[in-house]
């Protein structure tokens, strides 16, 4: 079973994935940020490198979904392929950093790959305000993120809100990332673990019910 861990830049996806691995025994697969050879250049010149960076993430995400073995395990995906397409790449197209020709090629590539995708059983969306995200981005101090503008994060947040409302392909759990600071607070960490444990139990019960009803 695949559980997608979703959220904007700075929401804490990787931290939550690591926590779920440690405490609940799930298996995490992390976003290939450090592997992307275009990412540093992208943040310094979005118009030049947006298409290359997004295509890299799309192919890496599909490669994971193609190879993942979920038998007997809960696999956590640190950001889903749908976020790549519907939020990050779409935003760059809307901002004019990916032109119409490259956007069509990107979408055609996704549509070709999507026939072979393993859909997540559930999504956990860490919803944070723009101000909280900006604080966390600055705190973690990734050099290539130092020039990220608040307007850019706000645009992504709006697209996230639209996407999660329309994501009807699986069940969703929304975590209030402003309320629950699971990276700093022990109590918030336990509360979030409880919420996700209960959500996972509901997903497992749903999967088993469908299997037995066949």
Q: Is 184 annotated as a binding residue?
A: no
Q: Is 137 annotated as a binding residue?
A: yes
Q: Is 139 annotated as a binding residue?
A: yes
Q: Is 18 annotated as a binding residue?
A: no
Domain 2-212, CATH class in plain words: alpha beta
Q: Print the SS3 string covering 105-153.
A: HHHHHHHHHHCCCCCCCEEEEEECCHHHHHHHHHHHCCHHHCCCCHHHH
Q: Are 88 and 35 in contact (CB under 8 A)?
A: no
Q: Tell me the C-alpha distance between 195 and 182, whole Å.
A: 12
- Quick: pLDDT tens for 122-147: 999 999 999 999 999 988 877 777 77
pLDDT at residue 107, as a whole number: 96
Closest-CA residue to 23 (of 86, 76, 60, 82)? 76
- Active-site hit among 34, 63, 78, 181: 78
Mean residue pLDDT of the chain comes to 90
Cα 197 off chain centre by: 19
- Quick: pLDDT tens for 143-197: 777 778 999 999 999 999 999 999 988 999 999 999 999 999 999 999 999 999 9
pLDDT at 209 over 70: no
159's tokens? 């697209």
- Quick: pLDDT tens for 78-120: 999 999 999 999 999 999 999 999 999 999 999 998 887 778 9
Closest-CA residue to 206 (of 124, 125, 118, 120)? 120
Catalytic-residue membership of 178: no
């Amino acid at each position: 079973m695949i559980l997608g861990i979703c959220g904007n830049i700075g929401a804490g996806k990787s931290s939550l994935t690591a926590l779920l691995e440690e405490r609940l025994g799930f298996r995490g697969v992390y976003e290939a940020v450090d592997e992307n050879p275009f990412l540093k250049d992208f943040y310094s010149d979005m118009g030049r490198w947006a298409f290359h960076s997004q295509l890299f993430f799309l192919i890496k995400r599909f490669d994971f979904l193609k190879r993942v073995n979920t038998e007997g395990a809960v696999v956590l995906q640190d950001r889903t392929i749908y976020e790549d397409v519907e939020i990050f790449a779409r935003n760059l197209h809307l901002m004019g950093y990916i032109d119409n020709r490259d956007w069509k090629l990107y979408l055609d590539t996704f549509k070709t790959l999507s026939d072979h995708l393993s859909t997540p059983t559930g999504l956990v969306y860490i919803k944070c305000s723009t101000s909280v995200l900006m604080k966390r981005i600055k705190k973690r101090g990734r050099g290539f993120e130092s020039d990220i503008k608040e307007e850019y994060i706000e645009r992504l947040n709006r697209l996230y809100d639209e996407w999660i409302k329309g994501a009807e392909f699986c069940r969703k759990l929304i975590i209030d990332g402003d309320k629950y600071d699971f990276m700093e607070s022990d109590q918030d960490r336990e509360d979030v673990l409880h919420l996700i444990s209960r959500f996972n139990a509901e997903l497992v019960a749903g999967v088993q019910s469908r299997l037995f009803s066949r």
